[in-house]
Chain A
């Protein structure tokens, strides 16, 4: 058998071209097209049931596609009627429940995918990966004796050992502590970078996605809403669902009055509009909590505190405007208002995200 170790690491470019996936005749995801450049780390983000895991399993080769095709480095691996077997794709996968083999110790698990390498290379690779995940010396431990976080890292090392051209991660942090998740996501990202592998993560947790991915696909009801960077998802959401799902915020009604101005309960908001509208068009405006600031001295907008959440460095306040519109506002935590306090606000929009009224892209969370 050839020694794969000496081959150059080849990260894959992943291309999904108009892909439909489903089970027994029923389509779960529709018309997905995206392109993840080699060495980059992507993420499929969406609420449960949006089809993100199905799509990931299609990339891995566990499900066939009903339409379109999936290409890894220009090689078509899936198209209707043809599905390259998962064991032939050189694609690693980390599973939600880790799926470690209980009958093998840590070294046995990690070496499972490289059993054809010669012994010396195999041992070196296992050692190298254990060092990378910070678990040197655990070769002879069995999975059941390890903590959840350790098992998770072993699962990662096992998937990385054959030097896959693409690594898929199916909600790998979902059984971890909330506090640990973003740390782990960052750690795994660093490991993937060190290995030079293309990565694709599935998650429903946007913080995880932000910490992990270069590029994020937001999925809803089996459709791709937006494939973009975290910054753009937050500041330039393509539709109402993305605006609602990513980050916090409220959507308030308004009416376009000029090219770069919308009249709302907050008064006239000025800023570049996300798309062009005829003046007078009724629209919905996205208000992020950082788009309004407390300004007790000079603020022109009056509001009443209706709820609040302490978040350490800052407070997230829910405020009611005089016409009963509710918005959110972030304020530093050195002022501590109580519910039903009256405050004054100032606008701080850098740009405006505006959707035509009645565009029902959003679904209640």
Chain B
């Protein structure tokens, strides 16, 4: 045994760079940022402990049961729907071969670009009494109003369908990633042990992918709980519509906050479920060796069925509504080829860009804090700051509005009493409140992206730059920023698009007379001016396509097994080991 085993696992080098005694600036910064971002949620939970008023009593006796029932039904319906669509298509495109598979692979993500409230208006416009579908039925059959049955899209079932059509990609994406990451070995082992393709799916692949499926499901369900546009438009009483009604209709902020707290507890159950499934996913990681699995060739009716299964969700979730929106937009050119629409687009883009810069800047601070000063407190702070992605926009809006309004009123009263000047609404009536809410809601998006980018820069690269004569600031500008440029642009784009699509928080927090594309589309649709709302909706969908394209490119590139490492370490021959220990003990 001339050589000790060549690849002894080296103990992880401690990442701590500085003695602990130094003033811990990174920790202080990250905790401060996290606390500020957690403010809305803390305010909402604080209201649980406040005495309940008459309105809350009234709500509990009359509406709360309906909110809970409808929200649960919606969760259940959409949950089943996204699983039924998402898992099979993920399996089909990952391990089978059939015509169009390569296109379906990315096209199945298209519905991500379609906000639920937009698809809801579009189908309503198409399926209501004067819409093209019913007109066609009447023309073909000669029947008149009331003489035939037609399903009502503006119903709970309709809402389930709409949300399913745009939310299944979450399940599809994560499940597909899990299937692709599964080591070929386990599938091949299952086949040598006598499992056919079906048994292989149900006994090996699906159980291994289950954590990913659950993670995708919880993400979709969080979106269901957060949805306001669809249920409001369909007139369904859920938590989000209830919060709006209590806030505006009953003018009782405290009761609205208490309602929001109940909604939040639902959300936290989902967060815990998601966290748990992600931890499980790590255990389900089988091995790090991948290779391209020979795909099952589908022919004849099986291939046809596979094509249909992949085509239908894309058709109903994206193509039909997008075509309908385009037709309407073409019919109403006068409504969007004008300065007012240009102003609207400018407002929206300006707001979204500003929010994106803020979110990415905060994410950079937090991610660096974690890198420079890892540890429990910083890690916890970063996690808390990232929780906003699960909190519905409605809840955040209420949680921002209450403290900001209190601050404005207090300051105004103080200034008037002391100096006789009115400061007005400094925070709550301006873009500041809206931008803060966006930062809370979308920080997780930028944080995740930035952390992934920063992870690509190994600590040894910092050391290498320093040993080549670079000071820390130089390392940042000449090594980190160039490597992270793509990541930062991605993070900016993702937040930008999310802000563009955001509806409920914008509705509550926007300054008087300030409109965005989403708000405009929602208002016009609410006034039954569907065709006129189409231009704003189409603009949102088109911009929303950008991250979908980006996502599909990223997935394509990061696919394991595409490029094996060059070092052929597995083939290193080793001497036949001697049976005796080479000289440690005497006999």
The number of inter-chain residue pairs (CB within 8 angstroms) is 174
**CA distance in complex: A113, B485 (Å):** 22
**How would residues 300 to 311 of chain A score, 1 for a CB under 8 Å from any chain B CB and 0 otherwise?**
000000111111
**CA distance in complex: A212, B51 (Å):** 77
**How would residues 226 to 266 of chain A score, 1 for a CB under 8 Å from any chain B CB and 0 otherwise?**
00000000000000000010001111110000000000000
The minimal Cβ–Cβ distance linking B291 to chain A, given in whole angstroms, is 20
CB-based contact A207/B3 at 8 Å:
yes
Chain B residues positioned under 8 Å from A14 (CB to CB): none
B53 on interface, CB distance cutoff 8 Å: no
CB-based contact A162/B586 at 8 Å:
no
CB-based contact A91/B1 at 8 Å:
no
Interface residues of A in 107-141 (CB under 8 A from B): 112-113
**CA distance in complex: A277, B385 (Å):** 70
Chain B residues positioned under 8 Å from A168 (CB to CB): 467
**CA distance in complex: A95, B466 (Å):** 12
B23 on interface, CB distance cutoff 8 Å: no
The segment out of A69-77, A169-177, A216-224 that lies at the interface is A169-177
**CA distance in complex: A320, B365 (Å):** 66
CB-based contact A178/B6 at 8 Å:
yes
Contact of B460 among A97, A148, A365 (CB under 8 A): A97
Chain B residues positioned under 8 Å from A249 (CB to CB): 582-583
A47 on interface, CB distance cutoff 8 Å: yes
The minimal Cβ–Cβ distance linking B515 to chain A, given in whole angstroms, is 41
A47-B8, A48-B9, A178-B572 in contact; A325/B466 too (CB < 8 A)? no
Interface residues of B in 529-587 (CB under 8 A from A): 565-569, 571-587
CB-based contact A205/B4 at 8 Å:
yes
The minimal Cβ–Cβ distance linking B268 to chain A, given in whole angstroms, is 35
**CA distance in complex: A97, B456 (Å):** 13
CB-based contact A112/B458 at 8 Å:
no
CB-based contact A24/B16 at 8 Å:
yes
CB-based contact A248/B460 at 8 Å:
no
Chain A residues positioned under 8 Å from B580 (CB to CB): 306-307, 318, 326, 328
A23-B16, A87-B470, A95-B463 in contact; A316/B578 too (CB < 8 A)? yes
Interface residues of A in 272-331 (CB under 8 A from B): 284, 286-287, 306-311, 316, 318, 320, 323-326, 328
Chain B residues positioned under 8 Å from A320 (CB to CB): 587
A23-B14, A62-B463, A326-B587 in contact; A365/B4 too (CB < 8 A)? yes
Contact of B584 among A49, A207, A362 (CB under 8 A): A362
Chain A residues positioned under 8 Å from B466 (CB to CB): 61-62, 85-87
How many chain-B residues does the 8 Å CB contact rule pick out? 56
Chain B residues positioned under 8 Å from A23 (CB to CB): 14, 16
CB-based contact B464/A99 at 8 Å:
yes
CB-based contact A204/B468 at 8 Å:
no
CB-based contact B483/A103 at 8 Å:
yes
**CA distance in complex: A61, B466 (Å):** 9
CB-based contact A318/B579 at 8 Å:
yes
**CA distance in complex: A365, B2 (Å):** 12
The minimal Cβ–Cβ distance linking B516 to chain A, given in whole angstroms, is 36
CB-based contact B577/A309 at 8 Å:
yes
Chain B interface mostly helix, strand, loop or mixed?
Answer: loop
CB-based contact B467/A93 at 8 Å:
yes
Chain A residues positioned under 8 Å from B282 (CB to CB): none
CB-based contact A306/B579 at 8 Å:
yes
**CA distance in complex: A191, B567 (Å):** 23
The minimal Cβ–Cβ distance linking A330 to chain B, given in whole angstroms, is 11
How many chain-A residues does the 8 Å CB contact rule pick out? 76
**CA distance in complex: A318, B478 (Å):** 57
Chain A residues positioned under 8 Å from B17 (CB to CB): 62
**How would residues 460 to 474 of chain B score, 1 for a CB under 8 Å from any chain A CB and 0 otherwise?**
110111111111000
B25 on interface, CB distance cutoff 8 Å: no
Contact of B11 among A49, A60, A97 (CB under 8 A): A49
**CA distance in complex: A306, B579 (Å):** 8
Chain B residues positioned under 8 Å from A362 (CB to CB): 584
Interface residues of B in 73-128 (CB under 8 A from A): none
Which residue from chain A places its CB closest to the CB of B583 in the assembled complex?
Answer: A250
**CA distance in complex: A96, B569 (Å):** 15
**CA distance in complex: A263, B470 (Å):** 62
Chain B residues positioned under 8 Å from A64 (CB to CB): 19
Contact of A24 among B19, B471, B581 (CB under 8 A): B19
**CA distance in complex: A103, B569 (Å):** 26
Chain B residues positioned under 8 Å from A62 (CB to CB): 17, 463, 466
**CA distance in complex: A107, B2 (Å):** 39
**CA distance in complex: A310, B478 (Å):** 52
**How would residues 142 to 166 of chain A score, 1 for a CB under 8 Å from any chain B CB and 0 otherwise?**
0000111000000000110010000
A47-B4, A85-B466, A323-B587 in contact; A177/B568 too (CB < 8 A)? yes
Q: A103-B483, A176-B567, A309-B577 are in contact. List 12 more A-B contacts (CB 8 A).
A: A24-B19, A112-B468, A158-B468, A162-B469, A178-B572, A204-B4, A244-B583, A250-B586, A252-B587, A309-B576, A364-B585, A365-B584
Nearest 6 pairs of A and B residues by beta carbon = A113-B468, A250-B583, A99-B460, A307-B579, A318-B580, A95-B460
Q: Would you mind naming 11 contact pairs between A and B with Cβ atoms under 8 Å apart? A: A49-B11, A61-B466, A85-B466, A87-B467, A97-B460, A103-B482, A113-B469, A177-B572, A207-B3, A311-B575, A324-B587
